[in-house]
Structure 1
Amino acid sequence: MLPLTDTEKLVCDALGRGARVDLAGRADRTVRAELLAALLTGAPGPALRLDHAVITGTLDLEGRVVDTVVTLRWCTFEQAPRLMKARLVGLGLRGCHLPGLRARNLRVRSDLGLEAGFTSAGTVDLTDSVVEGTVRLSGAVLRRPGGNALLAARLRVSGSVTAVALHAEGEVRLRGANVGGSVHLTAAHLSHPDGAALEATGLTVAGNLLCDARAGRFDAAGRLVLTGARIGGDAVFSGAHLHDPGRQDGQILVVPHGSVDESFVLDAERMKVDGDLKLDAGFVAAGGIGLRSTRIGGHLLLAGATIGRRESAAPLPALFAAGRAVERVPVALVADGVEVGGDVEARAGLRAYGQVRLVDAVVHGSASLSGARLYTPGTDALFADRLRVGGTLFLRRVLVSGSVRLQNAHIGSTVDCSGARLIKPRLRQNGSVKPSLDARVATVGKDLLCGKGFLAVGGVRIRLVEVGKLVSFRGARLGGRTRRGHPVTAVALSAYGLSAQELVLSFPPGRPPRGRVVLARARVVSVLDGPALWAATGGVDVEDFAYQAVAAEPEVGVRTRLRWLRAVQPDFAPGPYEQLAAMYRAGGDDERVRVVQFERQRRRYAEQHLLGRVWGRLQEWTVGYGYRPWLAILWLAVFWLLGTFWFAAHRLAPLDTGQQPVWNPALLATDLVLPIVDLGQDNQWQLAGPSQWIAAGLTAAGWILATTAAAGATRVLKR
């Protein structure tokens, strides 16, 4: 080794005493790296403390054991130090500038400090290293554009990793790392536009993962990969900005069964977070977020977040206006199979430019998207088949440009869509409109509320849905179009097979459903309707619709209800009349039962062939189809009067000339018209000529009318 310079002698002297040497302001600040290596591995002192040195050559401690604490501040290295497999007591490189750091399998018995201006122009390689204290990267600058800024795969840290305000150009790799404390990336700036800005697949953190904006905004240009990570506390991205310049469209191709190939700006599939996952408070992800099969022990917070790429959804309105189905769907959040132990909170300004997927998701608490804005025109904005929510699903005042799909969902309490506005629904391949709200075969433990200004341009499908208590469409607007020229739905409300205790179908006056309303095979206890329901432009299907009570706003009489039925059923079907009559009968209102049954028979005969229509009209005017027995009595009186007048004008000869019976036309007519009563008159007189036919007609009419009157009397006695 060449003779020592004065500067190097100063360093050697200070090492033995553990004193700090600051070379700032000296003309010669150069210290050879081989000298430092020899000092540290020879007869080391308690500590090497050196500031503002220029270290020439390569500091090579590969495989060496160093029992001296090494603290170098604001030093400049000409070559990247070689620390592979070295064993150090402690290492601090605060503010140092170096072309890289090669430290695979390094073991540090205390802290590793690469902070406060530490700058590396090459890769910092800590792969498979072990740090028994804390790794400090706060304020560090790592520059390896297009490459690896930090390689720390399988890094083991007993304490925390503090990287507040870290600036990294290139990939930061923490794949398989294990951190005993927390990872602090608050206000960090990570940039790797061509790949992953943070690659942390399989990362294990005992404490919190903090990528928030408390001390400045966390910003990542490139993907964050946390697939399979384990976070013992909270994963916090509040206020963070994530963007992936390398992916421009942010769209997925729609294929059968929902299988898609996509990439995300935040990929946290199969991640497990024991605490909360916070993507709120100004969080911005200019691309999709992947949370497939993620497990969250606490809450999922999305309030105030903006997710998705706005420009990827920009072409969709033109496709919708042209009546063309969307073939490539932009995605904002893919959380299929996610499990949340607490609540999903997405109120207060969530913006999603792309589809939000919650297929097979499980939320043990409640889920709230109230006030959110979901923008994916012409396709499903919220795709949540088989979603399970233990509490309430809040969709109050949500604005959805697209459709909401909840097929086979299970909601433990209430689905509250009050004030929601669902426009520009999904289109089929043929250009027809799918429902704005599709919850077929869903189960709702308590109420389904779609009132207070609820708007569904594509209509609502609640086919075969089971609701524990109330289904309400009070004040709802169903069907129509967003603007002139846009596609129009054919079915405003499909409630086929619906099961509920109470059904409210009270629509705004002057705004009936724009399309068909299907209530076939629905089963409810009570119904509240109004004139607007029965004015639905596509009619109302009430075949086999079962209910026990019905009321209207405002209240109407039975004849109004029959008029409504006639309006929506051009072709006669007996079921709706039988159901209405059964409801009145159960309430003891026999007068209304007779009115309904009379109308049923009248419509039945009105649609038969000519003879059937004649026979029906005859029954209507003579006996009221058996439901107006007083008509039978009236006609009996008419026939009795006709018979009396006839026989008064046409006296009959006695049948037995040996007897002289008293002639009484009124009694004879009574004996003929009332066949059950025998007054002995019809056997006393000889019936011949026209009188014979008159008598036969009176007897036939008497039998028919008396039987009808008796049937009516029987019903009266039964009541």
Structure 2
Amino acid sequence: MEINDLTPAELRVWQAFPKGEAVDFGDATDDSDDQRTVRAVVLRALLLDGPVVSGEVAALKVAGAHVTGVLDLRYATIESVIRLSDCRFDEVPDLSGAQLKYLNLSGSVLPGLASARVRVDGGLRLTGCRFGGPVRLGGAQIAGALYLEGAEITAPEGTEDPVLQLHQVTVGEDLCASRLRTRGEVRLDGATISGSLRLEEAELSNPDGRAFHSEALQVGANVLCRRLSARGRIDLRGTRIPGLLDLLYVRFSNPGGTALHASSCVIGEIWLRKGPPMEGRLNLRRSQIEHLNLEPEMLPDQVRVLDLTYTSLTPHVPPERRLPMLERDEDTFDPHGYEQLTASYRRTGDDHAARLVQLAKQRRYRTTLPWYGRLWGHVQDATVGYGFRPMRALGWLMSLLAVGSLVFALHAPPPLKAGEAPDFNPVFYTLDLLLPVISFGQEPAFAPDGGQQWLSYVLVLAGWILATTVIAGVTRTVSRQ
């Protein structure tokens, strides 16, 4: 392109490029001044074969320009820094397959961005950009950080593709997307982020589908989503986060579907507190979490925790507030969840809470049994609390001791051998029947008959069951201490 073909605005850009000087046209949204209009073909010519000045570093630094036409840099290798901030683009820039040093489009207004498989040796800055169509960065390799803070991405009605495509992207540092606003799906499946993913105060909306899809996402540090608001499904299946997944003050809404799907994940720590209850299901199946900081009040009506594994659980609250999480899983009875909750209470030394969880486990298991199994379960629950309430068994023992002592005191059983039997004592005779190990010499010396004989059978059988329960409960308490 000949230099005499340039408009005055383009000439300013052309002359500033070799020295890396900045050109500021002011507010690009003001259409009253044509002096800010720059053709995309001029920018392309500069970046591919622009003038150079010895001893200077060429760079394209333009602010407030109105860029017309398509900025086509497909598969180009650009050695210069590109900064087109606060500009307005009429057409979607196409950077697919390009190799860039650095790209900054902060504050610009664009109908979209086509940058699949782009490679950026530095950072890619899209801070504050407003996109009227999809941003395609699938397969991009960014050596530095990717900045999307305050960006807004929408798509025309009827668009089914994700509005932000970051699948298989590789980011060498952080992906910063605080205050990001999207209307459509955000896709990061298979992405690798060496640093942290920041989504604080972001607003993601796709009520009819996935608002955020990051299956098999690999993050080197943390995922920070404090005060994130999402309408639609959040899908984190298979994600690996060695650090913290911060979900404080979040608002997740997907009525009738899954609000947060985080199954088969490996996460160092999750904070899920301070926000309103989720609207939709929570799925944590088969995930491995080192520390789970979970506020029960944030849980929705349906929770999936099959094979969920965690090392510690906070805050420390009574089991009555934790058990509904296990009872809201509508799948078949899974004892693993109860064992995990029991273990977390035992690690904190709360053996009483651990026993209550085990009791709840037996009661939940009882609902899966046939009628006769449920009947026997109710008997065990009422009498000894499935062995987890030994003091209740002791109470039954004392009651049977009182009944037996009274009956045998009113009518003493005859001795087996007259003249050789010790003096009859109704209390110790009843104890002999109830206690399976200790003998006071009363039971073998007397032979009850009739109704008393049947009573003695009941006392012996009940004694074995109840005494064993008491001993087991005391043994568990001593062993914990």
TM over 0.5: yes
Q: 1:497 to 1:151 in 2, by over 3 A?
A: closer
- Counterpart selection for 2:340 from 389, 398, 417: 389
Code of the aligned partner of 2:451: R
In the TM superposition, what is the alpha-carbon distance from 1:337 to its structure 2 partner?
Answer: 1.3
Report deviation, 1:221: 0.6
| Counterpart mapping for 1:426-465 below 5 A | 437-438=363-364
Matched, 1:270 2:158: no
Structure 1 residues 40 and 584, CA gap change in structure 2 (3 angstroms): closer
Of residues 218, 221, 233, the one that matches 2:231 is 221
2:432, 2:440 within 8 Å by CA — same for their partners in 1?
Answer: no
Tell me by how many angstroms 1:234 deviates: 1.6
Task: Name 1:301's counterpart in structure 2.
Answer: 293
Which whole-Å CA distance do the structure 2 matches of 1:154 and 1:586 have between them? 70
Q: 2:362, 2:386 within 8 Å by CA — same for their partners in 1?
A: no
Larger radius of gyration: 1
Instruction: Kindly report which structure 2 residues correspond to 1:641-652, keeping only aligned pairs within 5 A, or say none.
Output: none
C-alpha contact (below 8 Å) 1:392/1:414 kept by paired residues: no
SS of 1:153's partner is coil
The 2-side partners of 1:462 and 1:15 are apart by 87
Q: Which residue, 195, 201, 206 being the options, matches 1:192?
A: 206
Structure 1 contact 287–307 (Cα < 8 Å) conserved: no
CA 54–12 in structure 1, closer or farther in 2 if over 3 Å, else same: same
Partner of 1:559: 405
1:129-148 aligned within 5 A: 129-144=140-155, 147=160, 148=162
Q: TM-score, normalised by structure 1?
A: 0.51
Count of residues in Structure 1 that have an aligned counterpart in Structure 2: 414
Question: 1-side partners of 2:261 and 2:454: how far apart?
Answer: 67
Residue 53 of structure 2 is aligned to residue 46 of structure 1:
no
1:76 is aligned, of 82, 88, 106, to 88
SS at structure 2 position matched to 1:299 = strand
Shift of 1:376: 11
Report the Cα offset of residue 281 of structure 1: 2.6
Q: How much has 1:237 moved relative to structure 2?
A: 1.3
Q: Work out whether residues 296 and 321 of structure 2, in 8 Å CA contact, stay in contact via their aligned partners in 1.
A: no
RMSD (Å), alpha carbons:
4.0
**1:337 corresponds to:** 307
The unaligned stretches of length 5 or more in structure 1 are 251-263, 310-330, 349-367, 396-410, 426-434, 441-459, 465-489, 506-526, 534-549, 564-576, 608-719
2:122 corresponds, among 106, 110, 132, to: 110
Q: Distance in 2 between matches of 1:285 and 1:176?
A: 26
What residue is the counterpart of 2:41 in the other structure?
A: 34
Counterparts of 1:148-163 in structure 2 under 5 Å? 148-163=162-177
State the distance in 2 between where 1:556 and 1:36 align. Answer: 101
Describe the shift of the 1:379–1:186 C-alpha distance in structure 2 as closer, same or farther (beyond 3 A).
closer
Structure with the larger strand share: 1
CA distance in 2, matches of 1:379, 1:126: 38
Q: Which is bigger in relative contact order (C-alpha 8 A, separation at least 6)?
A: 2
Conservation of the 8 A alpha-carbon contact between 2:342 and 2:354: no
Q: How does 1:160-309 map to 2 (within 5 A)?
A: 160-212=174-226, 217-245=227-255, 248=256, 250=257, 264-273=258-267, 275-282=268-275, 284-296=277-289, 298-303=290-295, 305-308=297-300
- Within 5 Å, give how 1:395-406 maps onto structure 2: none
Q: Any conservation in 1 of the 2:333–2:364 contact (CA below 8 Å)?
A: no
State the 1:373 CA deviation.
7.9
Question: What's the CA shift string for 1:631-666, capped at 9, x where partnerless?
Answer: xxxxxxxxxxxxxxxxxxxxxxxxxxxxxxxxxxxx
Decide whether the 8 Å contact of 2:429 with 2:440 is kept in 1.
no
**Per-residue CA shift, 1:215-260, capped at 9, x if unaligned?**
xx20111111111111121222122111115xx3x5xxxxxxxxxx
Cα distance in 2 for partners of 1:561, 1:139 equals 84
In the TM superposition, what is the alpha-carbon distance from 1:180 to its structure 2 partner?
0.6
CA distance in structure 2 between the partners assigned to 1:76 and 1:58 by the alignment:
12
**What's the CA shift string for 1:180-221, capped at 9, x where partnerless?**
101001111101111111110111111111112xxxx20111
* CA–CA distance in structure 2, aligned partners of residues 583 and 497 of structure 1: 19
SS of corresponding position for 2:139: coil
Name the CA distance, whole Å, in 1 between partners of 2:165 and 2:100. Answer: 19
CA distance in 2, matches of 1:232, 1:31: 47
Partner SS, residue 242 of structure 1: strand
Contact conserved, 2:224 with 2:246, CA < 8 A, in 1? yes
Q: 1:167 to 1:42 in 2, by over 3 A?
A: same
Question: How many Å separate the matches in 1 of 2:147 and 2:192?
Answer: 15
Q: Secondary structure at the match of 1:284?
A: coil
Note the 1:477-556 alignment, pairs <5 A: 493=381, 503-505=390-392, 527-529=393-395, 550-551=397-398, 556=402
* In structure 1, distance between residues paired with 2:327 and 2:320: 19
Q: Which residue of 2 aligns with 1:19?
A: 21
Q: Answer 1 or 2: which has greater helix percent.
A: 2
Distance, in Å, in 2 between the alignment partners of 1:374 and 1:77 is 53
Quickly say closer, same or farther: Cα 1:375–1:32, change in 2 above 3 A: same
Q: Are residues 495 and 90 of structure 1, via their aligned partners in 2, closer, same or farther at CA, if it must alter by over 3 Å?
A: farther
Contact kept, 8 Å, 1:134 with 1:158, in 2: the verdict is yes
| Paired letter, 2:137 | L
CA-to-partner distance for each residue in 1:583-610, whole Å, 9 max, x for gaps?
Answer: 469555445x489x56x42416799xxx
2:370 matched residue in structure 1: none
Amino acid at match of 1:559: S
Counterpart among 288, 313, 324 of residue 374 in structure 1: 324
Separation of aligned partners in 1, 2:436 and 2:307: 50
User: CA shift at 1:493, angstroms?
Assistant: 2.3
Opposite residue 18 of structure 1, the aligned amino acid is G
Task: Return the offset for 1:113.
Answer: 0.3
Match for residue 655 of structure 1? none
Q: Structure 2-normalised TM-score?
A: 0.75
